[in-house]
């Protein structure tokens, strides 16, 4: 058996060797015969008048699949010869080349029709053979795939009514047939998926993105573009199981032009949107106040001193001057001058725009887009809206010599401005956090935010200065209305004067407003300034009169009231100043016999001789008692 197997093996080797030798002889002969045949046909096709061909089947009517395949193969060979000759000289064998081209188009069309027929009949053998032949006809092969796609779309109904689900249904139902029918099925599947997606979605893309380019129309356009892009990306997951998915290519076909123009469209929209919202807001305010048509909203030059605020035709000037002339409109005006809801609305626009940009702009190019979006929103909210609101508030402040109690509304306005400014900065950081990886754009945005916040802080400082000036001017006015007769209270008992009550009532409301509208170090600084100025006003006021012993008792009641009011500041150094002032007032009621001893005791607490001298000079009998305390006058 082993010997037999060895002999069979040797015989097999010999037979293979013989077959190879036969093939090496016959195959070149077959190719030579085929080349001779094609050249003969080519020469006969070049004749002016076609006679009877040596191989007439090339032009005869074809009836069987084999006829079509044989002719298709022959025409391909003739086309190669025609192309090779045309490279040498265009006018050589022009008639043959013309007829071969016509034959090429004819047989290609016939093969496509046969492929369609096979698809209609679900004749897989026919489709396979035609597809194998058509792969050498690039245009015809593409046409066959196109008709295959069209029939697949018709055969798989859109039962869900959703175009994107329909795409998945078509691919699921057809991909097996693609692999059974076509040669190189992976490459065909790539074309198949691309054509299915584009065929199904092109009508949806056109209908969704064909909107008028008004502000509202652009908003709708951007929303639809974002949704289409999002749902296209979502197709990658269910279609990833098919080889050949080329989503970037599909995106370029369907949305290429729109994505190329997206950044310009988005940035133009956000600018127009913000400007429109602000302009409409101030126009409505102007109608409410009966003002003429306002100028266009824009960033105004910064005014850095109160004395430089002057009337002009800008929006803040017109509205501020109106409010100054009509103070009845001031209560709760802060919520009108700075609208938190409008700011949140614009920040919402930024969030949506940033979300679209992160999705639609290539990762490496998104930095400049995010910066431009942030710059637009920061400019409109901080450099325009907040700046306008504070500017109007400053212009509406009570005059330096008020006839009525000044409004403290600017303090509430400043609180709202700080809150909105902080919210804008926080939201901009949150919306544009992806900008951090772009160092230049991130730094530029931070510089812009810092510049805006500093500008708002400077304007708030100006407004606070004006508000405190008005408040202390009102305190001075109330004190100036006090007559000496108010201190003659012996008959009705020693009580606080009406002037002191009015001053303390207003000053207490000022302190409450400061505490409600300011926090932290800013609050302490302002309260300190208010306390010191209040103390100076009292010192100046007390010096307007000279007091008897009985009048001094009433004055002491007033000073106790002032001390209690100053204690609301919760500042030890200010409280100490008012306690010292009350202690000094005891020098006004002491007789000359023990005045020297009392001066010595007071000096231990107040620490300054000048304060004692000041208090002694308030006595009506100063010239008399001066002889008892010569070291203190």
Query: Where are the strands (E) in 185-314, listed by range?
Result: none
Distance of CA 287 to the CA centre of its chain: 31
Say if residue 54 is in the same domain as residue 131.
yes
Question: pLDDT at position 11, please?
Answer: 60
Q: What is the number of domains present in the chain?
A: 3
Calpha distance 260→339 (Å, rounded): 36
Q: With CA atoms as reference, report the closest residue to 423 among 337, 525, 348.
A: 348
Say if residue 312 is in the same domain as residue 448.
yes
Q: Is the dihedral of CA 332, 427, 465, 455 positive or negative?
A: negative
Say if residue 458 is in the same domain as residue 534.
no
Q: With CA atoms as reference, report the closest residue to 590 among 580, 601, 604, 579.
A: 601
Residue 191: inside a domain, yes or no? no
Residue 231: inside a domain, yes or no? no
Which residues are within 8 A (CB) of 567 and not within 5 positions of it... i.e. 6 or more apart? 575, 578
| Lookup: tokens for 371 | 């910066």
Say if residue 543 is in the same domain as residue 617.
yes
3-state secondary structure of 591: coil
Say if residue 464 is in the same domain as residue 544.
no
Among 123, 155, 187, where does a domain finish?
A: 155
Domain that holds residue 36: 22-155
Residue 38 has pLDDT above 80, yes or no: no
Among 122, 155, 188, where does a domain finish?
A: 155
Among 132, 155, 178, where does a domain finish?
A: 155
Calpha distance 483→481 (Å, rounded): 6
Say if residue 370 is in the same domain as residue 299.
yes
Residue 163: inside a domain, yes or no? no
Longest dimension (CA), the chain: 158
Residue 195: inside a domain, yes or no? no
Average pLDDT (259-269) is 94
Calpha distance 468→227 (Å, rounded): 54
Residue 207: inside a domain, yes or no? no
Other C-beta atoms within 10 Å of 361: how many?
18
Say if residue 53 is in the same domain as residue 138.
yes
| Lookup: tokens for 89 | 């000289």
Calpha distance 277→268 (Å, rounded): 14
Calpha distance 400→328 (Å, rounded): 18
Q: How confident is the model at residue 35 (pLDDT cuts 50, 70, 90)?
A: low
Calpha distance 99→400 (Å, rounded): 102
Say if residue 435 is in the same domain as residue 560.
no
Lowest mean pLDDT among 63-67, 78-82, 428-432, 562-566: 78-82
Q: How confident is the model at residue 323 (pLDDT cuts 50, 70, 90)?
A: confident
Other C-beta atoms within 10 Å of 472: how many?
19
Calpha distance 237→250 (Å, rounded): 15
3-state secondary structure of 11: helix
**Percent of the chain clearing pLDDT 90 (strictly above):** 38
Residue 161 has pLDDT above 60, yes or no: yes
Say if residue 296 is in the same domain as residue 390.
yes
pLDDT, tens digit, for every residue of 556-614? Answer: 999 999 999 999 999 999 999 999 999 988 888 887 778 888 888 888 888 788 888 88
- pLDDT: is 603 or 205 the higher one? 205
Average pLDDT (270-277) is 94
Say if residue 518 is in the same domain as residue 413.
no
Residue 524: inside a domain, yes or no? yes
Question: pLDDT at position 25, please?
Answer: 45
Residue 258: inside a domain, yes or no? no
Residue 18 has pLDDT above 90, yes or no: no
Instruction: Give yes or no for a contact between 293 and 286, defined as CB atoms under 8 angstroms apart.
Output: yes
For 547, phi and psi rounded to 5 degrees? Answer: -115, 140
Residue 399 has pLDDT above 50, yes or no: yes
3-state secondary structure of 185: helix
Say if residue 282 is in the same domain as residue 407.
yes
Calpha distance 111→22 (Å, rounded): 35
Rounded CA Rg of the chain: 48
CA angle 429, 432, 436 (to 5 degrees): 85
End-to-end CA distance of the chain: 148
- pLDDT: is 404 or 42 the higher one? 404
Calpha distance 628→330 (Å, rounded): 56
Say if residue 411 is in the same domain as residue 545.
no
pLDDT, tens digit, for every residue of 434-454? Answer: 999 999 999 999 999 999 999
Residue 149: inside a domain, yes or no? yes
Highest mean pLDDT among 35-39, 368-372, 599-603: 368-372
């Amino acid at each position: 058996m082993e010997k037999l197997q060895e002999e069979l093996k040797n015989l097999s080797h010999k037979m293979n060797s013989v077959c190879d030798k036969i093939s090496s002889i016959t195959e070149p002969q077959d190719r030579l015969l085929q080349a001779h045949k094609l050249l003969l046909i080519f020469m006969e096709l070049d004749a002016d008048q076609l006679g009877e061909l040596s191989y007439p089947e090339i032009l005869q009517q074809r009836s069987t699949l084999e006829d079509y395949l044989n002719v298709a193969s022959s025409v391909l060979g003739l086309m190669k010869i025609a192309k090779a000759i045309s490279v040498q000289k265009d006018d050589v064998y022009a008639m043959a080349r013309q007829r071969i081209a016509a034959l090429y188009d004819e047989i290609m069309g016939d093969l496509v029709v046969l492929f369609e027929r096979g698809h209609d009949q679900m004749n897989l053998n026919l489709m396979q053979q035609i597809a194998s032949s058509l792969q050498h006809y690039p245009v015809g092969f593409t046409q066959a795939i196109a008709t295959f796609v069209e029939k697949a779309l018709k055969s798989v109904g859109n039962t869900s009514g959703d175009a994107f689900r329909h795409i998945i249904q078509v691919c699921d139902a057809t991909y097996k047939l693609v692999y059974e029918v076509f040669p190189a099925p992976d490459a065909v599947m790539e074309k198949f998926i691309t054509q299915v997606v584009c065929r199904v979605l092109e009508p949806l893309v056109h209908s969704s993105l064909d909107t008028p380019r008004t502000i509202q129309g652009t908003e709708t356009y951007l929303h639809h573009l974002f949704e289409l892009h999002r749902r296209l990306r979502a197709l990658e997951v269910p279609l990833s199981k098919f080889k050949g998915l080329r989503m970037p290519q599909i995106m370029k076909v369907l949305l290429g032009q729109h994505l190329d123009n997206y950044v310009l469209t988005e940035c133009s929209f956000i600018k127009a949107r913000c400007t429109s919202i602000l302009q409409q807001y101030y126009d409505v305010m102007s109608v409410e106040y009966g003002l003429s048509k306002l100028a266009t909203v824009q960033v105004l030059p910064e005014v850095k001193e109160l004395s430089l605020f002057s009337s002009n035709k800008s929006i803040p000037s017109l509205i501020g001057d109106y409010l100054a002339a009509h103070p009845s409109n001031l209560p709760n005006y802060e919520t009108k001058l700075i609208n938190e809801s409008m700011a949140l609305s614009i920040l919402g626009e930024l969030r949506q725009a940033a979300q679209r940009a992160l999705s639609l702009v290539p990762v490496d190019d998104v930095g400049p887009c995010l910066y431009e979006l942030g710059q637009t929103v920061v400019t409109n909210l901080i450099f325009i809206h907040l700046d306008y609101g504070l500017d109007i508030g400053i212009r509406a402040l009570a005059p330096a010599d008020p006839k009525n109690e000044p409004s403290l509304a600017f303090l509430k306005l400043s609180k709202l401005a700080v809150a909105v400014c902080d919210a804008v900065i926080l939201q901009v950081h949150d919306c544009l956090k992806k900008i951090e990886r772009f160092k230049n754009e991130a730094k530029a945005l931070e510089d812009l935010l810092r510049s805006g916040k500093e500008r708002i802080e400077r304007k708030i400082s100006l407004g606070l200065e004006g508000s405190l000036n008005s408040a202390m001017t009102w305190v001075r006015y109330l004190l100036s209305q006090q007559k000496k007769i108010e201190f003659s209270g012996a008959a009705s008992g020693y009580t606080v004067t009406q002037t002191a009550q009015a001053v303390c009532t207003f000053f207490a409301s000022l302190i409450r407003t400061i505490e409600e509208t300011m926090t932290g170090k800013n609050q302490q600084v302002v309260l300190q300034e208010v306390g010191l100025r209040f103390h100076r006003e009292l010192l100046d006021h007390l010096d307007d009169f000279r007091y008897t012993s009985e009048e001094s008792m009433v004055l002491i009641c007033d000073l106790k009231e002032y001390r209690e009011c100053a204690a609301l500041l919760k500042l030890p150094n200010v409280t100490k100043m008012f306690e010292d002032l009350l202690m000094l007032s005891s020098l006004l009621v002491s007789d000359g016999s023990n005045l020297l001893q009392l001066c010595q005791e007071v000096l231990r607490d107040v620490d300054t001789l000048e304060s004692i001298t000041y208090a002694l000079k308030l006595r009506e009998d100063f010239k008399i008692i001066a002889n008892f305390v010569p070291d203190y006058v």
